[in-house]
Structure 1
Amino acid sequence: MGVLISLAKIFVKLALAGLVIVLLAVAGVYYTLAPQLPDVESLREVQFQTPMRIFSSDSKLIAEFGEKRRTPVSYDSIPTDLVRAFQAAEDSRFFEHIGIDFKGLSRAAFQLATSGHIQSGGSTITMQVAKNFFLSRERTFNRKFIEILLALRIERELSKEEIFELYINKIYLGQRAYGIEAAAGVYYGSSIQDLTLAQMATIAGLPKAPSTDNPIRNPQRAIERRNWILQRMHGLGYISDQAFEEASAAPITARYHGADIELDAPYVAEMVRSELFERFDEELYNEGYRVYTTLDSKLQTKATHALQNGLLDYSTRHGYRGPESQLDTALTPDAIAQKLESMTSYANLEPAIVTQVDDKNIQASLKNGESVTVDWDGLKWARKYRSNNSMGATPKKAADILAPGDIVRLYKDTDSWTLSQLPQVQGAFVALDPKDGAIRALSGGFNFNLNKFNRATQAYRQPGSNFKPFIYAAALDNGFTPASMINDAPVVFHDASLGGDWRPQNYSERFYGPTRLREGLYRSRNLVSIRLLRAVGIDTTIDYIQGFGFDPQRLPRNLSLSLGSADVTPLEIVTGYAALANGGYKVSSYFIQRIEDQHGNLIFQANPPCANCNATQDTDSVDTTASRLSPSAPRIMDPRNAYLMYSMLQDVIRQGTATRARSLDRNDLAGKTGTTNDQKDAWFTGFNRDLVATTWVGFDQPAPLGRSEFGSTTALPIWIDFMETALDQTPENGPVQPDGIVRVKIDPATGLLAYPGQKNAIFEVFRAEDVPARSTQNAAGTGQITTDDIF
């Protein structure tokens, strides 16, 4: 017995000595490592890597840019069941311990002693916060010890709720999702507030192995992990028997959800990303910036659809180019489905394979496996395309068009399916507010995913007659009036820059003699524009026109400028027209309204120059609270000339080349068509004082659109389609007549003041000092005019 007591005393002494040695070692390691520990207080100011989100002016999500999908949430917004699910999965005693789970650490120490490496870390949620924010993922004793020290410090300086909030927003949960809110969106397309208990347990099971336990990639493993967590929650008393049974029996409902895009505006999203990358560099994708654009979601949606429909209409008018490819009908259904699955849907055009061809209809299979019927009404348009000026015979039966195995595009119109095709023609559409240049809608092509080239901002094309209003505006600034007479007659110019002798013609190849300036514009007479430019002078005209924002280096210094041979983008054209709509003020287009950081702090606010901001006549159409704070845009036109140009361009719609727009039944609209040589470009730009919009249609590699395609037939219908929505329920807002304008009757044949009682006299508007002289009456009862009066 004495020997045993002696041995026990020796053992106790050795144990105490060993404990002292361990404590001294621990103390030594602590005092060695403590100075190297990071400042825990920095966790209070942590900035989570959060993607940039881009919104419309009315807060519709347009795009999300960033490697990590994350939406930080506060502890108070986390459902109790979700908190408990993570406790059950990771740290059931989180709200009781001091940051260390001694049982877990003992288990890790035993593994280290028996195997030479740590198999499970025994980490608490607090220790995981220490590791995720400050440490590497290496499994070494030294790193584990530092992790413990940091956990103790974190527990001293932060509340449990703050620690849990850091953890829940930092963790990686698979599919590029960081944090629980992002995971709820990625897997279930919802917020954490809307998750079921089964879904919460599934997400709580992801931190351990976000790839192997992923419910999308491995649903069976996800069910096993989820049910283990539910069992733990039940055993810990977190959930009832019924809740446990129902959640355990629930199927896996997870599927991949991309960013919840609410507004289709990818061209503008890329414009924002490109511009801000120059300012913020790579931090753009991680700092959680919220960028609000100037887009109006209603107008943007309509602009996208109007352009797509217009391009599809053009494509249909010129015939069917045939199927995209042909599959062997002997292929297995799986092989066919795989082929269709690899094809992208563009706009509303769905890929499909023709499975059966009957007399007047076809059967086709969509890539979702659905079988659909296309009746004759959806097929009979498909005459064979031969060229932009020629089509084949009208089909008599479905077999004249398609065969089994053809890969085609279909779209659903109301309740019926129609054969379609991806258009080869392209286009652009831009609408902006003429008061300050805010872009309200922009589409740079048929579909961004099909072709990312932004034709609204990057395509330099000739505007044709769409450019003539700027030539006429320069003429008004140099003494001409709407009644000035210009001779629409043949002429030959020798100009080396135009390749020698130049014999310009009107499109009709006819000449109409003396023509008033107003009529020359609304009828788009080429010879009138050419003689007008020659009379004003090329240098004088270019000096004036560049005030509208056009690059003088892209304006040809020859008479072809009068016919729109300059190289311009649709955005430049519509911005130039803004001055014609707003009374003569130069505004610059912009598309970023404001930028906020992830906490909602304002870091940028646009404050563009505004046209006539403080004028009382504009208070019904301008936000006067904002406009008083805005700088005034520079005036580039005499207000009277701006009024005259607006009036003349209204006649383009009333009686000129754009009479189709009269279908809108408004008196405040003005605009101009444009068609270039060989119909390679078709344009229409139109406006009232609230909105100016332009449409361009053409091929990326310039080629004739076809002999019947003009600005009035190709571009104008797109503009009308957009404006029907844009102007719906809005009051008319036409030009406000400035002081110094008079309205008198003139002789339409001479442009002179009408003689008393003249029956064919018409009204015209002039600057007060430019009212013409009285016409004299000759024997025929018409006014007299000599060739000296005609340019």
Structure 2
Amino acid sequence: MEDIYEAPAKKRWRFFKTFQILFYIVSGIGVIVACIVTYYGYQLYKELSPQVHAMIDYHPNEITQVFDSRGRLIANLFDEEYRFYVTYNEIPGRVVETLLATEDTMFFEHDGVNIDAIARAIFKNIVNMRYMEGGSTLTQQLVKNMLLTSDKTLDRKLKEFLLSIRAEQVLTKEQILERYLNYIFLGHGYYGIKTAALGYFKKNLNQLSLKETAMLIGLPKSPVKYDPTKNLQHSLKRANAILKRMYDLGWISQAEFQQGTKEIPKVYNQTLTQNKAPYVVDEALRELSNIPNLKSGGYKIYLTIDLEYQNIAREALLKGYENIMYRIIDREQKSRQWRREQPLTETQLDEFRKQQANTLNGAIVVTNPHTGEVLAMVGGVDYAQSSFNRATQASRQFGSTMKPFVYQIAFNRGYSPAEIVIDSPKRFGKWVPNNDTKKYLGPVSMQTALEKSLNIPTIDTALKITEPALYAGLESFGFTNFPKDLTVVLGSLSISPMQAAMQYSLFSNYGTIVKPYIVAKLIDPQNKEMVFQTTAMEATSPQQAFLITSILRNVVQKGTGHRARVNGIQIAGKTGTSNLSRDAWFCGFTPDLEAVIWFGRDDNSSIGGGAYGGNIAAPVFADFISKALEINPGMQRNFRTPNGVYQQNINNEFIYYTDTSRINFEQIEETQRLREANEPIF
């Protein structure tokens, strides 16, 4: 009997020993594997920890916004990501609730990963034999999007697991939510919840309805599929599912659920930049080119521009452009008629117009002449066709708009507007200048010479003051790089419309030249302000400058600039046309506004159509000022006459003069006697 029970006992003992040995082996292997995994995990954890700093020091690209002088939005600027940043304190609680109900109900309970959710997701995926859902927390989603890739690999999942735990150790729950809601892409080019709210609904976050909030929160799952501007029904269906989830959780009432599911919000399909003044914005960026990350740093740029003035300036310029086109086409048709050729057909007219439009262009600059603020600037007739800013980047011959500066130098040297100059043919070496009309008036006053824009008397004036004094005077006014010969008095120098606006402030600002500027102030994301102002240079006295202003008023009232007249307001200005009508100018001003208008061709060829500054540029000034008066009816209407300026009727001309003006009455009387006797003068 003993032998019968001995065998099973030995077998049991051997089995136990074998099991014990296997247990130790497996345990040893497990310990080794655990050590290896732990070591690998620890090394990986150490390796990945620095990456978390990208989440800690999160400074995403933000939109830089450009505003006009009244705080109205001109443009949104960005490099790669169109984003408005919002802090956690600015995020409504309903937005957070909607997000957590959709993505991570236990967000405030877990430590970065939710083991229960992962287990449920794995079980559900196995049962259905396909991927049904994931178990990622919001923290894991943020880590994957910010620090990792979307690869479905074990290595990536392990990194995500470890980084999520680390992220929860160094960031608060609120900080994680803030980063998530600012980082996510919500379709249509929008990054961040605030951007999408403004873009899709034109609302701030605290103005969103429950349904609108759900539509936004539903977007990250598939920004294209649920983009409400393209697939509204999909977006509404996804939002209703989110509302159902919130109702099931007890986070919204039945009334809120029913009201929300019925709502169909109005969705806006907006362009991202919304640039209302592209030439102006480009110029502002050039002026601020030393600011790092200007288009992605979340700055606020406030300009001197007034959008209302900007709009009417653009409309006036385009109307003037169409006037030129009409003149060119009309002259072409008449020319064909004179040549007894068939007029252009509609198809030929379209082609002819396109050919003209390839090079014909214009620009306008409107300033406050007393402060230097640029109130409007248009650098071309079509920014989409050409972004080249002719208002600031084009340097064109100034033509007769140069003449007032010559006479200002003369007046500063003691001559008066009554001084007699001779209008008669003259030769200067090989140069034989003429008046535009090819007619000569003989002896005229400097005032009449400027009013009628006579060429020969302007040269005569320059000779009176001497060439060295002329060149020194022009340099004292800020002119540079001009030809040191008499052609300069007829406008052979080149200048941009913006520079012309600065130079003409000599007259419009009573003797003090102010430099035009566009950027008023820059505010960085920390609300630190950088304020900009003009620079000013006193070039002559208010009294002396007013002598030119008084004559330029006559230019508009009865001279070459009469098409710039506007009823009910005093206007001073000067027309200018360069050789072969390559450039047509009008530089004009009222007591409160100054505007410089230029038309020409980009290839510097003749404008054509019988174009002159007086018939194509001056009407643009009148059009602009008329509309400006409607916008600002309280605008100053009359020029102020400085103390120390006097007026006298001399030979049927009302002449202004100052205490320093020398009026040569003997010369005037002798000239008048010789004219009446029909005898040669001088």
- What TM-score comes out, normalization by structure 2 length? 0.83
Residue 311 of structure 2: which of 274, 297, 301 is its match? 301
Matches within 5 A, 1:201-212: 201-212=214-225
Residue 654 of structure 1: which of 554, 557, 565 is its match? 557
- Which amino acid in 2 is paired with 1:73? V
In 2, the alpha carbon distance for the partners of 1:126 and 1:139 equals: 17
In 2, the alpha carbon distance for the partners of 1:68 and 1:761 equals: 66
Q: Does 1:429 align with 2:364?
A: yes
Structure 2 match to 1:643: 546
Q: Does 1:387 align with 2:332?
A: yes
In 2, the alpha carbon distance for the partners of 1:532 and 1:584 equals: 20
CA contact (8 A) 1:47 1:287 kept: no
Structure 1 match to 2:4: none
Structure 1 match to 2:280: 268
Q: Does 1:507 align with 2:436?
A: yes
Cα distance 1:19–1:161, how it changes in 2: closer, same or farther (>3 A)? farther
Structure 2 match to 1:88: 101
Structure 1 match to 2:598: 696
Q: Does 1:452 align with 2:394?
A: no
Structure 2 match to 1:228: 241
Cα distance 1:542–1:249, how it changes in 2: closer, same or farther (>3 A)? same
- What TM-score comes out, normalization by structure 1 length? 0.73
Cα distance 1:743–1:153, how it changes in 2: closer, same or farther (>3 A)? same
Structure 2 match to 1:163: 176
Q: CA deviation at 1:681?
A: 2.1
CA contact (8 A) 1:679 1:707 kept: no
Structure 2 match to 1:720: 622
Q: CA deviation at 1:571?
A: 1.0
In 1, the alpha carbon distance for the partners of 2:333 and 2:441 equals: 31
- After superposition, give the CA deviation of every residue in 1:701-737 in whole Å (9 maximum; x if it has no partner): 3444445432222111111122223353112462452
In 2, the alpha carbon distance for the partners of 1:453 and 1:48 equals: 32
- After superposition, give the CA deviation of every residue in 1:572-617 in whole Å (9 maximum; x if it has no partner): 1111101222222232222111111234322x221332xxxxxxxx
Q: CA deviation at 1:445?
A: 1.4
In 1, the alpha carbon distance for the partners of 2:245 and 2:576 equals: 72
Cα distance 1:589–1:769, how it changes in 2: closer, same or farther (>3 A)? closer
In 1, the alpha carbon distance for the partners of 2:645 and 2:483 equals: 36
Name the structure where helix makes up a greater proportion of residues: 2
Give RMSD over aligned pairs: 4.1
In 2, the alpha carbon distance for the partners of 1:789 and 1:96 equals: 105
Residue 770 of structure 1: which of 662, 676, 679 is its match? 662
Structure 2 match to 1:471: 406
Cα distance 1:780–1:573, how it changes in 2: closer, same or farther (>3 A)? closer
Cα distance 1:187–1:577, how it changes in 2: closer, same or farther (>3 A)? same
CA contact (8 A) 1:78 1:192 kept: yes
Matches within 5 A, 1:129-528: 129-219=142-232, 221-245=234-258, 247-248=260-261, 254=267, 256-259=269-272, 261=274, 264-276=276-288, 278-280=289-291, 283-319=293-329, 387=332, 390=335, 425-494=360-429, 500=430, 502-528=431-457
Q: Does 1:584 align with 2:511?
A: yes
Cα distance 1:556–1:775, how it changes in 2: closer, same or farther (>3 A)? closer
Structure 2 match to 1:731: 636
Q: CA deviation at 1:124?
A: 1.1
Cα distance 1:492–1:542, how it changes in 2: closer, same or farther (>3 A)? same
CA contact (8 A) 1:547 1:586 kept: no
Larger mean Cα displacement after TM superposition, 557-566 or 72-81: 72-81
Larger mean Cα displacement after TM superposition, 72-81 or 560-569: 72-81
- Which amino acid in 1 is paired with 2:502? T
- Which amino acid in 1 is paired with 2:656? E
Q: CA deviation at 1:54?
A: 1.7
In 2, the alpha carbon distance for the partners of 1:180 and 1:779 equals: 81
Larger mean Cα displacement after TM superposition, 265-274 or 83-92: 83-92
Q: CA deviation at 1:181?
A: 1.7
CA contact (8 A) 2:362 2:598 kept: yes
Between structure 1 and structure 2, the one with the greater Rg is 2
Give me the identity figure in percent.
31
SS of the residue 2:396 aligns to: coil
Cα distance 1:788–1:29, how it changes in 2: closer, same or farther (>3 A)? farther
Residue 499 of structure 2: which of 557, 572, 577 is its match? 572
Q: CA deviation at 1:562?
A: 1.9
CA contact (8 A) 1:776 1:784 kept: no
CA contact (8 A) 2:359 2:603 kept: no
Structure 1 residues without counterparts, runs of 5 or longer: 320-384, 394-399, 409-420, 495-499, 610-632, 749-759
CA contact (8 A) 2:412 2:544 kept: yes
In 1, the alpha carbon distance for the partners of 2:488 and 2:312 equals: 33
In 1, the alpha carbon distance for the partners of 2:568 and 2:466 equals: 39
The alignment of Structure 1 onto Structure 2 pairs a total of residues equal to: 652
CA contact (8 A) 1:777 1:783 kept: no
Q: Does 1:557 align with 2:484?
A: yes
Structure 2 match to 1:601: 528
SS of the residue 2:494 aligns to: coil
CA contact (8 A) 1:118 1:139 kept: no
Cα distance 1:742–1:451, how it changes in 2: closer, same or farther (>3 A)? closer
- Which amino acid in 1 is paired with 2:601? F
SS of the residue 1:299 aligns to: helix
Q: Does 1:103 align with 2:116?
A: yes
In 1, the alpha carbon distance for the partners of 2:424 and 2:46 equals: 93
